[in-house]
Structure 1
Amino acid sequence: MEERPEGKRLYDILRAGDVLVVRRIDQLGRNYDDVKEAVQEFMRRGVIVRTIINNMTFDSSTKDPMQMAIRDALIGFMAAAAQSRAEVTKPAQIAGIAHARRLVGDKRYKGRKPSFSEGQLTHVLTLLEQKAGVSTIAKVTGLGRQSIYRIIDDPAGARASLIEWGICSPTIA
């Protein structure tokens, strides 16, 4: 979680005594180890983690070894359930995308709809040539940092996505 920009930001913002509310515990990582380590790191920092779906609270306030063992077992169980759910969902997602790609016309799968316009893409690329930082580009263009990172990673793919969605003309280079 710490290696993702928003995850790092979360670690930077939260302090001892803060409460982190998540819908489900699996939002804190991509697999068992990520989720377990994230919850334990937040508890080490004195952050309280609360889940909405099953109304659980994880904190480091207890010093009783039995309660700590139960808490840690629950974290492990929930992290394992999250990974299991992700592993079951992935093949269904892949099959759904494959099916959608076989469709024709307007029902054909086009990928994720871009969150930026042709003008914003051009502006981002211009600012990148001028060596502007991601934060500056985000402020100037009104785009999120993640959108800018996607453009940086694949500018041609970003333009192709705009064309695929009919947001920009294929004749404009």
Structure 2
Amino acid sequence: MSGQQVGYLRVSTQEQNTQRQLDGVELDKRFEDKASGKDTKRPELERCLSHLREGDVLHVHSMDRLARSLDDLRKLVKDLNARGVVVRFHKENITFTGDDSPMANLLLSMLGAVGEFERTIIRERQKEGIVKAKERGVYKGRKPALTSEQVNALRSRAASGESKALLARDFKISRGTVYKYLNAGIINC
């Protein structure tokens, strides 16, 4: 019995699109993230991994779309193969079944390391660009997550005893950001 043909597509930002990824590949189901590949904590990747069953084939445009970390890439492929899921990377034209040759495993490691290296270089360039922009006085930093009205509402609700987790959900921010706003204010919660 053959399984489903499942696609996983990823771009790093909301402005990018996945049109070129897996173009022409017939899929029964597709999962698409607009998130960094720095780790595996991506909502659609998690849904995809939960969806996959023995006999399924996971199609991914390229290795760096699945993971930018060599450790994450190797773990994902190994875990999927152990569950009976075949992983196919189209750009590299490599398929992993769990019965892979030493050459396929070498390629996975080498190409995965290149993806990880690229991400490190990108982060390095971003940091350098921010330093230069600060020197020129044009770097304004990240846009605040909340408006001043929202911050006042957050502080008021926290002072009345609402849980930080509920506040984070309602304001669509992390609990860490909730604490950042509370600790920056007069109210000590």
TM range (shorter): 0.5 to 0.7
Report % sequence identity. 17
Question: After superposition, where does 1:19-168 map in structure 2 within 5 Å?
Answer: 19=58, 21=60, 24-51=62-89, 54=91, 56=93, 58-60=95-97, 63=99, 67-104=100-137, 108-123=138-153, 126=157, 129-131=161-163, 133=165, 137-138=168-169, 140-141=170-171, 143=172, 147-152=173-178, 154-155=180-181
Higher helix share: 1
CA distance change for structure 1 residues 98 and 19 in 2, over 3 Å: closer, same or farther? same
Match of 2:101, SS state, is: helix
Q: Are 1:46 and 1:59, in contact at CA under 8 Å, matched by a contact in 2?
A: no
Distance in 2, matches of 1:47 and 1:124, equals 45
Distance 1:87 1:33, change over 3 A: same
The match for 1:170 is none
Instruction: State which drifts further: 31-40 or 113-122.
Output: 113-122
Aligned-pair distance for 1:20? 5.8
CA distance in 1 between counterparts of 2:152 and 2:81 reads 44
- The offset of 1:7, in angstroms, is 8.6
Structure 2: give runs of 5+ residues left out of the alignment.
1-38
Q: Tell me how large the CA RMSD over aligned residues is.
A: 4.0
Would the aligned equivalents of 2:57 and 2:88 in 1 still touch at CA under 8 Å? no
> What is the distance in 2 between the residues matched to 1:118 and 1:47?
49
Whether 1:15 aligns to 2:52 is yes
TM-score between both structures, scaled by the size of structure 1? 0.56
Q: Which runs of 5+ in 1 are unaligned?
A: 161-173
SS in 2 for 1:36: helix
